[in-house]
Amino acid sequence: MRTLALCAAVLVAGLAACAGGDVGSPSAPPAAPATATPTTDDAGSDAAEGGSAWAWDLPPGFPAPRVPADNPMNASKVALGRRLFYDVRLSGNETFSCGSCHEQKLAFTDGRATAVGSTGGLHPRASMSLSDVAYASGLTWANPLMTSLEKQALVPMFGNDPVELGSPDEAALLARLGGDPEYAPLFRDAFPEKAAPSLDAVVKAIAAFERTLISGRSPYDRHVAGDPTALSPSAKRGMDMFFSERLECYHCHTGFAFSDSIVHEGSAFFELSYHNTGLYNVDGAGAYPTGNRGLIDLTDKPADMGKFRAPTLRNIAVTAPYMHDGSVLTLEDALDHYGAAGRTIASGPNAGDGSQNPLKDDLIRGFVLTASEKTDVIAFLESLTDASFLADPRHSNPFSSPQRPPAP
Amino acid sequence: MTRRSVAFATMTLCALSSATLAITACSDDATSPAASPDAAITPAPTSTTDAAPPPVADGSTDASPSTLAVTIDFAARVGVLPFTCEATYASLGTSMVSVGFTDFRFYVHAVELVRADGVSVPLTLTQDAKWQEQDVALLDFEDGKEGCATDGTPDMNTTVKGSVPAGTYKGLKFIVGVPFAKNHANQAIAPSPLNLGKMFWSWNAGYKFAKIDSRPEGMNGDGGPNPTFNFHLGSTACQGDAADGGTVTSCGKPNRLPVSMPLYELGKSKVVFDYAALVSGSDLLVNSGPSGCMSFPGDPECAAVFERLGVDYATGAPTVTPGTAFKLE
């Protein structure tokens, strides 16, 4: 997660409203209940009461995530997924794990502008934060077909342009994992309905672990819960600007997860939006740089040029640099980008006036902030940092040795 | 690089056996274009349904006099030279560069033989639990050596095996790619050969129909070390039901290639895929965006490659004039 589009309005208390609101749509897909027993209507449901019961540890005011019917949560599965997430055996050369590009202390980002894979291949996009990824209705920066964490896990494993993990094929991967005696009982307890470990089980376990990466105990959350000392006066002023029509930030970064593309157990509708924020305009007609054009690369629709998903702003202060390509280095720069209603690049192959991008979202209108106001808005954004999440031992690397090799 | 360098003078020659080069895109003759949700799906032969093919003597192709065991031979070439992962091939593309390879695989399905009376008869593929699954087969020309060591495997497959009812046949049809229903099913539980990670194209919700990757010498890479000119063929502009796990409901550009070789003769002919022809209109030193041609909309390197293949890059449908990459010999 690396974007931020600023917005504003005042009703902080309304933030949590979408959480509990529309529970119980008859058309909503099956979702896991907030406690223990998973529901499933899939084959093998008679055995689906996996390993151990599951209870979400949700921050106050947070709804339960929506869970696929064929991958109910259980504690063994989460433990298995955590181990797999941090296991370098998933990469072809056994140097990288999921955690190499998704470091807990950086809200599961990597601190780079754009990601680097296990073999040195350069990714065109920035590693996204996994904060509250369970609630993301769409995954990655701009892929409307990628709405399941299970399916998404195959991309870093097997994608080869660029190579990310470069995982070996199923049989070789399972043979590798079989060398770790801790896996057999974990697989068995996590998937009692499965006779043996499988690629399907691997991606389901990783997805289950990712769904537990819920961040909602920041100073801002304590403020919402009624603690008058949780936010500094500066952060409170910044909050008022964030939720104002002057800055317009909150339209895209809305709700408990600070994103307009959110789904959860109680969602009656499916919302998934993409926005062009005027970051580029290389041809005067709205084009983004070739090879990194956003939604249009999937849909082939001209109007989708430069459109990307608004990621959550939770823990945004620790996930620099920002935007899909890491081309905005700091929160100050991000505010300047939105303040100018789009970025102007004076020279080079990407030169252009983003503020004149004809495909730009009409809420990117620009604003002027004094230096102290800018400081206030940033103080508010920093109040979204959840220190307990960044240090939660349940999310940490279970392996003792360092998992990340030196930067290439 | 320790590859031996193989120079050759005329790269477009292909030792064709006389009059055999007659590949047509079988554009209008077939039936049931509405069978697939793909917008511009290839004319679907009757065998492209996803029902399991009728069992033929438990998968074996020997046996009864009423069936004819068939082996379709394929070959990968670079001009006149046989493809191998260990060679470097000179003078490819418009800038005449030397090229080594890192992969050479593609899927075919809906293989049919043409009976003497002109009727196309589906080849019932031998179910080998490795290369062939229902009506889909993977052709694999890389041996996992040299440049192919990273992505490849030692196993190779250069034939499609199956059976047809006994009879007299002349003419072959097949479609390059994975049929729609299989292309968008759950890859994590798909049977072989649809469970090879390197052929997953998960970010675009499907498979790479073809993965033919090269390393042109002297290429300037913007994608990291060892710049490559990849050719990944697959369906693009896919639409899905986002609320239903992103299930793909249609693809605006199917990018499947129907190949028809009316002069194909059983036991004599061979289907050749020529990389030199595929990239004859491409400057292999130039790339912007993804490495080489990755099929998705807006890739500057794709138009020339698709034209040689025989797919209209703008629509994803077969071109009226057949491409030159597939040949019969």
Among candidates A92, A272, A290 on the partner chain, residue whose Cβ is nearest the Cβ of B289:
A290
What is the pairing mode between strands B67-78 and B271-274?
parallel
Cβ distance A161 to B230 less than 8 Å, yes or no, reads: yes
Helix A233-242 crosses helix A371-382 at what angle (to 10 degrees)? 90
Q: Which of B155, B203, B222, B291 to mutate to test the interface with A (most CBs of A within 10 A)?
A: B203
B292: tokens are 């080489």
Please report which confidence band the pLDDT of residue B151 belongs to, taking 50, 70 and 90 as the band edges.
confident
Across the range B1-28, mean pLDDT stands at: 36
Among candidates B150, B186, B290 on the partner chain, residue whose Cβ is nearest the Cβ of A161:
B290
Which residue's entry shows tokens 């807006």?
A: B298
Residues of chain B positioned with their CB less than 8 A from the CB of A92: 150
Which residue's entry shows tokens 């190949």?
A: B259
Cβ distance A298 to B204 less than 8 Å, yes or no, reads: yes
**Per-residue pLDDT at B51:** 38
**Per-residue pLDDT at A349:** 94
Q: Which residues pair with B108 in a beta bridge?
A: B137, B176
**Per-residue pLDDT at A19:** 32
Among candidates B200, B223, B291 on the partner chain, residue whose Cβ is nearest the Cβ of A154:
B200
CA B22/CA B1 separation, integer angstroms:
38
pLDDT over 90 for what percent of chain B?
A: 64
The per-residue pLDDT for range B15-47, each reduced to its tens digit, is 333 333 333 333 333 333 334 566 544 443 433
Task: Please give the residue of chain A at the shortest CA–CA distance from B186.
Answer: A151
**Per-residue pLDDT at B38:** 65
CB burial string B78-105: b at 16+ within 10 A, e below: bbebebbbebbbbbbbeeebbbbbbbbb
Contacts of B297 (CB under 8 A, 6+ apart): A296, A297, A300, B236, B237, B253
Across the range B317-325, mean pLDDT stands at: 95
- Nearest CA-CA distance, residue A291 and chain B, Å: 4
Q: Which of A150, A160, A272, A282 to mutate to test the interface with B (most CBs of B within 10 A)?
A: A160
Cβ distance A144 to B242 less than 8 Å, yes or no, reads: yes
Task: Please give the residue of chain A at the shortest CA–CA distance from B222.
Answer: A122
How many whole angstroms from its chain centre is CA A83? 20
**Per-residue pLDDT at B50:** 38
**Per-residue pLDDT at B290:** 76
Contacts of B140 (CB under 8 A, 6+ apart): B104, B105, B131, B153, B155, B156, B157, B158
- Nearest CA-CA distance, residue B59 and chain A, Å: 24
Cβ distance A161 to B237 less than 8 Å, yes or no, reads: no
Residues of chain A positioned with their CB less than 8 A from the CB of B240: 144-145
The per-residue pLDDT for range B221-246, each reduced to its tens digit, is 544 455 789 999 999 999 988 777 77
Q: What is the ipTM of this complex?
A: 0.72
**Per-residue pLDDT at A49:** 47
Query: Which residue in B8, B3, B328 sits closest to B172, CA to CA?
Result: B328
Cβ distance A199 to B195 less than 8 Å, yes or no, reads: yes
Cβ distance B236 to A162 less than 8 Å, yes or no, reads: no
CB burial string A350-361: b at 16+ within 10 A, e below: bebbbbebebbb
Task: Please give the residue of chain A at the shortest CA–CA distance from B315.
Answer: A300
Across the range B60-65, mean pLDDT stands at: 53
- In B, what residues contact A, Cβ < 8 A? 150-151, 153, 186-189, 195-198, 200, 202-205, 222-225, 230, 232, 236-240, 242-246, 248, 252-253, 288-291, 294, 296-300
Cβ distance A270 to B150 less than 8 Å, yes or no, reads: no
Give the pLDDT of chain A (408 residues) as one tens digit per residue.
Answer: 333 333 333 333 333 333 333 333 333 333 333 333 333 333 333 344 455 679 999 999 999 999 999 999 999 999 999 999 999 999 999 999 999 999 999 999 999 999 999 999 889 999 999 999 999 999 999 999 999 999 999 999 999 888 999 999 999 999 999 999 999 999 999 999 988 999 999 999 999 999 999 999 999 999 999 999 999 999 999 999 999 989 999 999 999 999 999 999 988 888 899 999 999 999 999 999 988 999 999 999 999 999 999 999 999 999 999 999 999 999 999 999 999 999 999 999 999 999 999 999 988 999 999 999 999 999 999 999 999 999 999 999 999 865 444 444
CA B65/CA B62 separation, integer angstroms:
9
pLDDT over 70 for what percent of chain B?
A: 78
CA B224/CA A116 separation, integer angstroms:
9
